[in-house]
Structure 1
Amino acid sequence: MFTTLIDANTLSQHLDDPKWVILDCRHDLMNPDFGRNAFAEGHIEGAQFANIDTDLSGPKVGADGVFRGRHPLPDRATLIETLRAWGISDDSQVIAYDAHGGMFAARLWWLLRWVGHGAVAVLDGGLAAWNAAGLPLLTPALPRTHGNLTDKPSLVRTVSVGELVENLDSKRLQVIDARANDRFRGENETIDPVGGHIPGARNRFFKDNLQADGRMKEAAALKQELSAIVGAPEKAVMQCGSGVTACHNLLALEVAGLSGAALYPGSWSEWSAAPSRPIATGPA
Structure 2
Amino acid sequence: MNSIVSLKWLLARLYESDIVIVDCRFQLGKPESGREAYEASHIPGAVYLDLEKDLSAPIEEHGGRHPLPDIAQLTGTLSRVGISNETRVVAYDDQGGAMASRLWWLLKYLGHEEVYVLDEGFTAWQQASFPVNADQKVLIPAKFLATVQHNMLVEMDEVRENIGTGRVTLIDSRDGARYRGEVEPLDKAAGHIPGAINHLWSEGRGDDGKWKNADEQAARFEGLDKDRETIVYCGSGVTATPNVRALQEAGFSNVRLYAGSWSDWISYEGNPIAVGAEEAPEGK
User: CA separation in 1, counterparts of 2:185 and 2:131?
Assistant: 36
Tell me if structure 2 keeps the 8 A contact 1:158–1:263. Answer: yes
C-alpha RMSD of the superposition = 1.6
Q: For 2:237, which of 221, 225, 243 is the aligned residue?
A: 243
- Helix, strand or coil: the match of 1:251? helix
User: CA separation in 2, counterparts of 1:272 and 1:4?
Assistant: 32
Quote the residue 2:282 is aligned against: none
Quote the residue 2:281 is aligned against: none
Tell me if structure 2 keeps the 8 A contact 1:22–1:46. Answer: yes
Map of 1:180-191 to 2, 5 A cutoff?
Answer: 180-191=175-186
* Deviation per residue, 1:97-154 (Å, 9 max, x gap): 0112111100000000000000000001111331232212211221221011111252
Q: For 2:246, which of 252, 258, 263 is the aligned residue?
A: 252
Quote the residue 2:158 is aligned against: 163
Distance 1:256 1:216, change over 3 A: same
Quote the residue 1:95 is aligned against: 90
Q: How far has the Cα of 1:155 moved from its partner?
A: 8.0
Quote the residue 2:116 is aligned against: 121
- Helix, strand or coil: the match of 1:263? strand
Distance 1:234 1:46, change over 3 A: farther
User: CA separation in 1, counterparts of 2:168 and 2:26?
Assistant: 31
User: CA separation in 1, counterparts of 2:230 and 2:97?
Assistant: 21
Distance 1:212 1:155, change over 3 A: farther
The answer to whether structure 1 residue 231 and structure 2 residue 231 are counterparts is: no
Tell me if structure 1 keeps the 8 A contact 2:81–2:141. Answer: yes
Tell me if structure 2 keeps the 8 A contact 1:194–1:272. Answer: yes
- Give TM-score scaled by structure 2 length: 0.93
Quote the residue 1:222 is aligned against: 217
Distance 1:47 1:234, change over 3 A: farther
Quote the residue 1:12 is aligned against: 11
List runs of 5+ in structure 2 lacking aligned partners.
279-284
Query: What is the aligned length?
Result: 278
- Give TM-score scaled by structure 1 length: 0.93
User: CA separation in 2, counterparts of 1:46 and 1:255?
Assistant: 29
Distance 1:233 1:248, change over 3 A: farther
List runs of 5+ in structure 1 lacking aligned partners.
none
Quote the residue 1:54 is aligned against: 53
The answer to whether structure 1 residue 263 and structure 2 residue 257 are counterparts is: yes
User: CA separation in 2, counterparts of 1:185 and 1:191?
Assistant: 15
Distance 1:271 1:155, change over 3 A: closer
Q: How far has the Cα of 1:189 moved from its partner?
A: 2.8
Q: How far has the Cα of 1:252 moved from its partner?
A: 1.1
Distance 1:127 1:188, change over 3 A: same
Quote the residue 1:23 is aligned against: 22
